[in-house]
Amino acid sequence: MIIKFETKSQRVKGLSFHPKRSWILASLHTGAIQLWDYRMGTMIDSYHEHEGPVRGLDFHSTQPLFVSGGDDYKIKVWNYKLRRCLFTLTGHYDYVRTVEFHREQPWIISASDDQTIRIWNWQSRTCISVLPGHNHYVMSASFHPRQDLVVSASLDQSVRVWDISALKQKNANVGTSPGDEFLKFTQLNQEFFNSGDAMVKYVLDGHDRGVNYAVFHPKLDLIVSASDDRTVRTWKVSDQRAWAVDTFSGHTHNVSCAVFHEKKDMIISASEDKTLRFYDISKSQFIRSYKREYERFWILDVHPTQNLIAAGHDGGLIVFKLERERPAYQSVKNVLYYMKDKNMREVKNGKDTPAAILRKSWPGASRNIYFDPTMSFCILTSDHEGGTYELFEIKKTSSSSEEVQLKNPIRKGKALFAAFVGLQKYATLDPKDKKVFVHSTQSDRTKELNLTVGPVKRIFSAVSGRLLMTTDDKVHLYDLEQQKVISSVNAAGVKFAVWSDDNTKVALLGKHMITICDSKLDPLCSVLETIRIKSGAFDKDGVFIYTTLNHMKYCLPTGDYGTIKTLELPIYISHVENNAVTIIDREGVVKVITIDSTEYRFKLALAQGRTGDIKKIIGESKILGDSIIAYLQQKGYPEIALRFVEDEVTKFNLALECGDIKTASEVAQKLDKKECWNSLGLEALSQGDVTAVEKAYRRTKNIERLSFLYTVTGSLENLKQMLKIANNRGDIMSRFHNSLFLGDVEERVKILQQVGQTTLAYITAKNHGLDNLAQEIRKTLPEDFKEPEFDFKPSLFLPPVPILNGGNWPLLHTQEIDYTDVGEAVAELDESQFDQFGEGIEIPGVSNGQPSGVQQTTKKAPAIPEVDENGEEINVDAFDLIEMPADAQVSLSTSSNFVAPNSGRNIVDLWPLNSQFPGDHIAAGSFESAIEILSKAVGIKNFAPLKEIFLSIYAGSNLLMPSTPNQPSISVPLQKGRNDNERTKDTSLPKLAVPSLSDLQLKLKDALKTCSNQNTMQAGVDMLREIMRQLLFIPILTKKDEREMKETLSTCCEYVIAFRMEIQRKNIQASDSKKAAELAAYFTRCKLQNTHIMIGLNSAMAAAFKLRNFNTAAAFANRLLKLGPPEKIQKQAQYVIDEKQKNPTDEVPLDYDDRNPFVVCNISLTPIYAGSDKIACSYCGASYLPKHDGELCTICEMGTCGKKTIGLYQYANSFKSSSMQEEEL
């Protein structure tokens, strides 16, 4: 019994599976109705209109309806799409126990405590028949799935079978004649007196107490009933009579419900004794049971098409199936072997044939099947007795037949999982001890693997001599020859491992996660699904095709994934060949499904840069929907999507993204929106397309920008036109600007006069030598006007004369791929295809159609005419020619287009590849990878204090050099090394702008001095923390560097711990002298310099003495005297010791034991004595109590409490060693 879904709620009294969707309805004793998706494990909706418990529920088989009946005597019909009640049927006078839709007629049947059964027409919303006859509560009533019968169960200890064929006939014959009203009256009269619409056909007596439930078998003429007499009975019904068949006992309390299984000869019963019991009908015997500890079971429902059963109990509901439905199968060299009904079958070239027959004593259904590489041995596993396996030798029945014969097993044992690990070797996993054993197929020799990876959950085959094994959160690759785990990958809950045909990739399938790795178990990509993953297989291109419960999907090696098709039922993939997917369903039926692989083949070709395949796919199909267009845009291929998109807005945006001004201009013309023209103008301006910019500015009537455009492009004629336009519009400011751009002084003087600036007009005319005009203006000025005197020599201010008048900027023409021309890609012919058109011409000295000694060229270059521009012949001998070697090869290009060379790789991009130190990644601008390294290597949790250091390193690793005017500065990366030989692409690293270790050690001395001052103690602590942050980014190249760095970090940590407690002590010494004395005592246990230890001992001695703790104070005094303090302090210490001799007591108990070594928890500020559990900061090593696991360290304010790490030096070295191993391999 496998539980697939479970809820926690109030008592569940009614259940109903949806016939097609993965939904289940549950009615509660509180009156609520809940709609659940048992695949997703989420509640879809809830309904709250009934008053009191709801006991009956049923989904309609085809309509979006369900019906409910409750203790409020009401029957409600709901529409789950509209999420509301459509109508209410009333007529019962007591609790409604069950309700059910008819499979063909628009009827609802209901059973009630009013001792009647009613049949309703839900379309006309009327009661069409009342079935009285029971003399106690009617507990259930249901229709026969095929015949016109009804079965009911009552507390009068009987089960009744009713014939409703007359009711069906009457409703079918109702006409629309004028006598219909009289007929309806007659029908109502007959229904009231029960005159024959439904007749009791059989009364089944045999139960000793009330019957709670009765239902027909879905296929056989059987009835099952559940009773308070603690038994379950089956009844046989024929056309003539009905009789009891079997009685099943075993329950110890009332049996609430019993149902038939849809696909198996089985009865499931639910009881108030908190158990579910399962009975075999054919053998009339008990099979198994399931028991809850506290909850009683009340109701059952069986899914009409799937192997699912639901049970409602006091605390909710469970959805379960009885056994695993995944068939045992394995695909070997495109041949599928699978188990069905103790038979091994083979599917080859589309033909399904028997391969072998197992013995009759084979224990139960096979769970897994394994073959060795040579197809000489086979292992079958079963869940019998917790897990068993049997090893068979495969023998061909004849030399010409493919049928194989499995001899008697040559070896048996306990195992749930097995795997062949080489020729004549296989491994098994013990189901109890979780140990892995390696066996020989030729002998009984067994060897246990010595593993240190923890309990192994499953094992899988790998390449020869290796074994995959899973633990709770990882998958390990174990090498049998080296006898150790050689690699691991984080993947939790892996259930299956699927290898590609060439064994270069493996897909690790968990419940909701797929992790694809290479053969060394290095992760390539991963996919997270919300629905359970069922199976998968690789195709020849390395694309992983997999299935969930309701979808078939794909995953590319790049990590991109998508949906291929929706599935009605779960299936299992065994093999993928082009567009054909071989699958096997839960019924053991093998099928070949044809899929459309265009989408993922297109994405794969795009990722691999296969231009020919891209053109071919585009030419053969229409795949470019919205999702593919968005994908192309996201991956940086807007020029491909541009040629196929139909939406004008999307087309415009794509054209701008790929810089296609011509297309963008055409689309903008169609859209004719201001925002489109503005965007087009900006993009065209960046490309120097003056024509497009001018058009955009004209359409948006952007006069100012248009004038400036004509100015910078030297289009003076157009600029004069702009001046006229401004004059016509009466725009004074625009006229003045255009006159400035043109250098038209007279126009400027005229404008100044018109706006009343006569003085400025006079000065302008005077300064520019327009004397006649200036004299005329002078007459209009006051007589006392004084001309301004300048102490400098003025110069003429005119715009420069344009050298080039207008025109677009010159653009570099690049060779463009025409993705729409697929003729060349499709018409690639193989040489062998020419043979079918007849014999070729034999040429002497030619082998395979090519002359010997002559290089074949794809196209002959045209001859270059040796004539000049006047048509006269050029004498080549008149030129001074360069002597060329005889073997020199020169190609003459006749293409007019320049193909832009590929850009080289930025040296900055190499820094993260050459180093795993965070500073090198920060210098390259790769902040994310630096954060990841710091998190993995030293467990940094809080990155906020590192922000300034990140920005400083990034800014300091690049030099900005000024370039030409109006151009941005040039960024030059600063590299380590003295010359280019030391800065190759494999060794290039940045010159980090970080202090050296010696600089930080000097800074540490200043910080310690600052801490010693009472007024600057907090500033000193901040300086120490800053040093701890900067230590993260110092390159550690040797063990010595690592040792010195750790010493410096340890010193900073100890002083921050000590002076943080000292600051806290000063803050609380007036209010809590006891805690202040404890903190002073803890200070003395820190690893500090003697000077600071003496200061701490003196403070602790004084604090203890004030509390009259003379024993503790004397202990501090003795330690103080051993360090040789100043004379004044020596006298105080001696005085404390003398007082202790007089009164050797401690009045205030302190949480401090001078004899027991301890460290301080830096959150609770309490001691952690030797032998007690403790955890440490992942970076600085500060100590904490275990309850603070996962919290932020309070000392360095960056690390994680309790997280185990290996350190930056080991992390970087492990990266280097793995890189070296890859190079060696």
Residue-level pLDDT at 230: 93
DSSP for residue 1177: B
Residue 271 lies in a domain: no
Residue 1095 has pLDDT above 80, yes or no: yes
Other beta carbons within 10 Å of 1165:
18
What is the CATH classification number for the domain harbouring 461? 2.130.10.10
Residue 400's pLDDT band (boundaries 50, 70, 90)? very low
pLDDT tier at 770, thresholds 50, 70, 90: confident
% of residues, the chain, pLDDT over 90: 31
pLDDT at res. 818 = 56
Tell me: the pLDDT tens digits for 41-100? 899 999 999 999 999 999 999 999 999 999 999 999 999 999 999 999 999 999 999 999
Beta-bridged to residue 161, according to DSSP, are 151, 202
Residues 1057 and 1136 in one domain: yes
Whether the predicted pLDDT of 635 surpasses 50: yes
Q: Which domain holds residue 466?
A: 326-472+487-494
991 in the same domain as 1003: no
Q: Based on the domain organization, do 932 and 1017 belong to the same domain?
A: no
Residues 969 and 1018 in one domain: no
pLDDT digits (tens, 9 = 90+) for 414-428: 888 888 888 888 889
Residue 348 lies in a domain: yes
Query: Is residue 564, in this structure, part of any structural domain at all?
Result: no
Instruction: Please tell me the least confidently modeled range out of 72-86, 107-121, 215-229, 444-458.
Output: 444-458
The residue assigned the tokens 């809590």 is 1072
Does the structure show a pLDDT above 60 at 716?
A: yes
Mean pLDDT of the chain: 82
User: Which of 462, 494, 526 lies at the terminal end of a domain, its last residue?
Assistant: 494
Average pLDDT over residues 306-334: 88
Would the pLDDT of 835 be above 80? no
252 pLDDT band, cuts 50/70/90, is: very high
Output the pLDDT for position 1163.
92
Supply the pLDDT for residue 548: 92
- 320 phi, psi to nearest 5 deg: -145, 165
Whether the pLDDT of residue 914 is over 70: the answer is yes
Q: Any bridge partners for residue 286, and if so which?
A: 279
pLDDT of residue 1023: 93
Tokens of 1156: 């027991």
SS3 category, 912: helix
Q: What is the mean pLDDT of residues 452-474?
A: 87
Which pLDDT does position 887 carry in this prediction? 47
Residues 435, 449: Cα–Cα separation, whole Å: 8
Residue with structure tokens 């306990």? 414
CATH number at residue 804: 1.25.40.470
pLDDT value of residue 398: 52
Instruction: Please give the pLDDT value at position 555.
Output: 93
User: Is there a single domain that holds both residue 1007 and residue 991?
Assistant: no
Structure tokens of 588? 């053991």
- The domain that holds 19 is classified in CATH as 2.40.10.480
Of 630 and 1225, more confident = 630
Q: What is the mean pLDDT of residues 687-712?
A: 84
Mean pLDDT calculated for residue range 828-846: 38
What 8-state DSSP symbol labels residue 1208?
H
Range 865-889 average pLDDT: 43
Do residues 40 and 24 make contact, with C-beta atoms less than 8 angstroms apart? Answer: no
Q: Do 1052 and 1194 share a structural domain?
A: yes
Name the band, by pLDDT with cuts 50, 70 and 90, for residue 690: confident
Is 690 a member of any domain? Answer: no
Together in a domain, 1039 and 1188: yes
- Write out the E strands in 349-416: 351-357, 366-371, 377-382, 388-396, 404-406, 411-414
Average pLDDT on 1150-1172 reads: 89
- Picking from 996, 1025, 1044, the residue at the C-terminal end of a domain is 996
In tens, the pLDDT along 1024-1047 reads 999 999 988 887 777 777 888 889
Most confident among 795-804, 831-840, 874-883, 884-893 (mean pLDDT): 795-804
Quick check: 533 pLDDT over 80? yes
Mean pLDDT of the region 228-253: 92
Per-position b or e across 317-346, b if 16+ CB within 10 A of its CB: bbbbebeebebbbbbeeebbbbbbeeebbb
Q: What is the DSSP string of 225-278?
A: EEETTS-EEEEEE-SS-EEEEEEE---SS-EEEEEE-SSSSEEEEEETTSEEEE
Say if residue 888's pLDDT is above 60. no
CA 979, 983, 987: angle at the middle one, nearest 5? 150
Residue 401: predicted pLDDT? 46
Instruction: Please give the average per-residue pLDDT across 683-690, as a whole number.
Output: 84
Q: Are residues 461 and 425 in the same domain?
A: yes
Q: How many domains does the chain have?
A: 5
Q: Sorting pLDDT into bands at 50, 70 and 90, what band is 1199?
A: very high
Q: Which of 59, 90, 121 is at the close of a domain? A: 90
- Give the orientation angle of helix 703-713 with respect to helix 716-729, to 10 degrees: 160
Round to whole Å and give the CA distance between 1191 and 942: 10
Q: Are residues 779 and 737 in the same domain?
A: yes
Give percent of the chain with pLDDT exceeding 70.
Answer: 84
Look at residue 390 in the predicted model and tell me its pLDDT.
81
User: 240-243: long-range contacts (C-beta < 8 A, 24 or more apart)?
Assistant: 241/202, 242/161, 242/201, 242/202, 242/204
Q: Is residue 358 part of a domain?
A: yes
CA–CA separation, 1021 and 1053 (whole Å) = 10
- 965 with 1086, same domain: the answer is no
Q: What is the DSSP annotation of 17-69? A: E-SSSSEEEEEETTS-EEEEETTTTEEEEEE---SS-EEEEEE-SSSSEEEEE
CA distances from 619 to 579, 580, 743, 815 (A): 18, 22, 58, 20
Taking only the tens place, the pLDDT of each residue in 988-1010 is 788 888 888 888 888 999 998 88
For residues 951 and 1074, state if they share a domain. no
Are residues 1194 and 1118 part of one domain? Answer: yes
Two tokens, residue 519: 């053969």
558 falls within a domain: no
Backbone φ, ψ for residue 741 (5° rounding): -60, -35
What distances in angstroms separate CA 678 from CA 671, 690, 715, one per listed residue?
13, 14, 21
Using DSSP's 3-state secondary structure scheme, residue 926 falls into coil
pLDDT for the residue numbered 855: 37
Is 32 a domain residue?
yes
pLDDT of residue 634: 73
Structural domain includes residue 405: yes
Q: DSSP class of residue 1188?
A: G
Mean per-residue pLDDT for 928-935?
88
